[in-house]
Amino acid sequence: MMKRRDFVKLSTLSAGFALGKVPVWAQNLPSMPELEDRVLVIIQMFGGNDGLNTVIPAENDLYYSKFRKSLNIPKNKTVRLGNSNAYLHSSLNSGPGNGLSGLFKEGKVAVLQGVGYPNPNLSHFRSTDIWLSGNVPVSDSERLESGWIGSYLSSKGNTGTGEHPDCLNIGSNSSLIFRHNAENFGLSVSDPVQFYESGKDLLTGDSFVDGSSKYASEFNYLLDLSIKSNKYSKVVKDAFDKGKNTQDYSNDGLVSELKLVARLISGGLKTKVYLLNINGFDTHAAQGTTDGKHAALLKSVNDSIAWFMADLKAQNLSKNVVGMTISEFGRRPNENESGGTDHGAAGAMFVFGDEVKGGLYGNNFDFSKLDSNSDFIHQFDYRAVYDEILFKWMGGSDTAIKSVLQKRYSHIQGGILNDYLATGSPLANDVPTNNTVFPNPTTDGFITLNLNLPQPDNITLFQTTLSGQRLSVFQNIPLPTGTHSLPVQLKNGRGNYILEVFGGKTRHTYKVIWL
């Protein structure tokens, strides 16, 4: 391995400074949202969404002839996902741009089949806590007191005292997802004006109580909420007043809530994570097919996302937002005698946004491979999605992600978000020696460029700003066959850059962030 001082000396002799036009490869790369501008929106479908009637195996006769004889979605009422054998419920084809179906065609939604976790718990509240915490307990007696978002923010040293609230729950209830032990990084807001009026007089002059008693914990928790509400009520209202909506949203509950989120983002609120809830997915009876209870719920989710994304796109903000749906479990393969479905294991999940690698992930629900409870077996662990969100979208380090999820999870089929978003550490046990840049982001401008050369080559490295300024880092460095870790000092100060490695037989491009 070449030492840093030897490489710097060698590269200095051959390096030059060049300004040029933006190369073709740089012009074709999309701009990447800054880390501080990225927003995560989570839609919680409480009750256990029926994944089988959401993403439908309409070419499998068993679906119609055995498992859903009356509670099926006719194939001619579904929307085919590309050239696959999977189809969407017709309710997911409405709203601006034909909703989730349209976003799929644009490559902006990932449809995940068979998402769950090992040994699923079919209690609504316990399984909800499992999804919100990001942890599957080893026993039913284990308490889950921290959520995956709250734990992540805590691992980064957030104190919940910044200029803007870290997280917002659009509604009246607090959520485990934003908590880390006694810390709470979330506030509940349903009406910014009312929130402002009620927040003005919340401070009572009380002091936090010492001790570890349940009373002290609860008192301090409520006092902390009071202080934060007082502090952030004006910030939220100011963003609401400055923001706007460009679309004529419907008056549906969830649609109205995402309308509020779009307006707050438009108004400059720097909240990182929003949580929204829609209830009613516990469809044990009278579930319906192309219409009825379940169809209406799916339409609400679909239309809210459709209006929301259209609004953000019109304001040039859509690149800053990634959204996802979660539900505590799916439904059983077979319908019941009440025209509904009972609690099941694996379900369906959507991840949407401009930075999503859209497509269909996983195989159709498999009726031939059921577990001992005659239920679907999950294909993907929900924590693999969380890992990728934390790693690529939120800039999580290997240490931070493992502190939240207990370990790292391999990303589904290589990843559902664009690879150039990655700003954290590689997966645990990955050795960054095969054509990678590390660390990314860098805080001091020093990176290591790892190259694996199948034959000797002369290597040149250019660093280009997103505005087109091209800098020569080094030129024509002779390297032998094998793996090389090359120390590099970036130029031009903090920002987003594209690196291009040239050689006679070598060409690689990377996106790198200097924070």
User: What would the mean pLDDT of 294-322 be, rounded to a whole number?
Assistant: 98
pLDDT, greater one: 44 or 195? 44
What is the band of 426 on the pLDDT scale with cuts at 50, 70, 90? low
Domain count of the chain? Answer: 2
Q: Name beta bridge partners: 43.
A: 276, 325
pLDDT, residue 339, reads: 98
| Per-residue pLDDT reduced to its tens digit, 47-81 | 999 999 999 999 999 999 999 999 999 999 999 99
Please give the Cα distance from 425 to 177 (Å, whole number).
23
410 and 490 together in one domain: no
Report which listed range, 168-177, 381-390, 418-427, is most confident: 381-390
Which helix (H) or strand (E) covers residue 296, if one does?
A: helix 293-314
Checking if the pLDDT of 135 tops 50, the result is yes
pTM of the entire predicted model: 0.77
pLDDT (tens digit, 9 = 90+) per residue, 219-256?
Answer: 555 555 556 667 788 899 999 999 999 999 998 899 99
Q: Which domain holds residue 14?
A: 4-30+428-514
Q: Which of 326, 323, 338 is nearest to 286 (CA)?
A: 338
Most confident of 18-22, 101-105, 450-454, 476-480: 101-105
**Residue 447 φ/ψ, nearest 5 degrees:** -135, 165
Do 243 and 364 reside in the same domain of the chain? yes
CATH number at residue 313: 3.40.720
CATH of residue 476 = 2.60.40.1930
- Categorize the per-residue pLDDT at 494 as very low, low, confident or very high, splitting at 50, 70 and 90: confident
Checking if the pLDDT of 274 tops 70, the result is: yes
Residue 205 inside a domain? The answer is no
12 plus 67 within the same structural domain: no
In this prediction, residue 52 carries a pLDDT of: 98
Q: Which has the closest alpha carbon to 416: 379, 391, 441, 442?
A: 391
* 392: DSSP letter: I
257 falls within a domain: yes
Say whether both 437 and 501 belong to one domain.
Answer: yes
- Give the model's confidence band at 31: pLDDT under 50 very low, under 70 low, under 90 confident, else very high: low
pLDDT band at 32 (very low <50, low <70, confident <90, very high): confident
